[in-house]
């Protein structure tokens, strides 16, 4: 009998991990993501395991997981954005900036509106209204369904009037 395909096994554990994460079963999700990584390491599994750690408030571990994801696939944009978001949670606003900038230019990233939006949050916090507006505007132009970006843009426009 042939050996099971490790990629398929990893994918199955990843899907189950995601289901557990969405159900709020974070410890089970971490275990399943770990099993996925053990079967076949992917940037996605490391990133999502990090995201799960963030739900537990363990931002240092979440960042470490994202750094592992970047080692596996430096073209995957999600971990760059996530590291920036975790740094914001730790109120390390300036440290977050280069991570969002890396996410914006990552070769493989479907949700490009997020790093633009998050960078807007940083610049708004730093009272750089022009840059914040540009970032919120970029996020909204990428995805007109992203109402948080539109709200940020409107909030800053109203403040300037």
Measured in whole angstroms, how far is the alpha carbon of residue 155 from the centre of its chain? Answer: 24
Q: Six-digit token pair at 134?
A: 């540009």
Is-contact 117 141, C-beta < 8 A?
Answer: no
Name the maximum alpha-carbon separation found in the chain: 72
How is domain 1-99 classified at the architecture level of CATH?
Answer: Alpha Horseshoe (1.25)
Q: By three-state DSSP, how is residue 41 classified?
A: coil
Per domain, the residue ranges of the chain are: 1-99, 111-161
pTM: 0.94
Give, for all 161 residues of the chain, the pLDDT tens digit. Answer: 777 799 999 999 999 999 999 999 999 999 999 999 999 999 999 999 999 999 999 999 999 999 999 999 999 999 999 999 999 999 999 999 999 999 999 999 999 999 999 999 999 999 999 999 999 999 999 999 999 999 999 999 898 76
Spatial distance between the Cα atoms of 96 and 81, rounded to a whole number of angstroms = 9
């Amino acid at each position: 009998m042939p050996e099971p395909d490790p990629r398929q096994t990893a994918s199955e554990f990843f899907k189950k991990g995601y289901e557990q994460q969405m159900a709020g079963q974070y410890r089970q999700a971490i275990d399943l993501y770990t099993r996925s990584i053990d079967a076949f390491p992917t940037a996605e599994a490391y990133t999502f395991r990090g995201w799960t750690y963030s739900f537990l408030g363990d931002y240092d571990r979440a960042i470490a997981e994202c750094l592992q994801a970047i080692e596996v696939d430096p073209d995957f944009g999600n971990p760059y954005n996530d590291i920036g978001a975790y740094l914001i949670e730790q109120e390390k606003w300036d440290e977050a900036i280069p991570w969002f900038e890396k996410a914006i230019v990552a070769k493989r990233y479907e949700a490009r509106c997020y790093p633009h939006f998050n960078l807007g949050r940083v610049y708004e916090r730093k009272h750089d209204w022009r840059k914040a507006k540009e970032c919120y505007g970029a996020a909204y132009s990428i995805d007109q369904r992203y109402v948080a970006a539109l709200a940020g843009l409107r909030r800053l426009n109203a403040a300037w009037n």
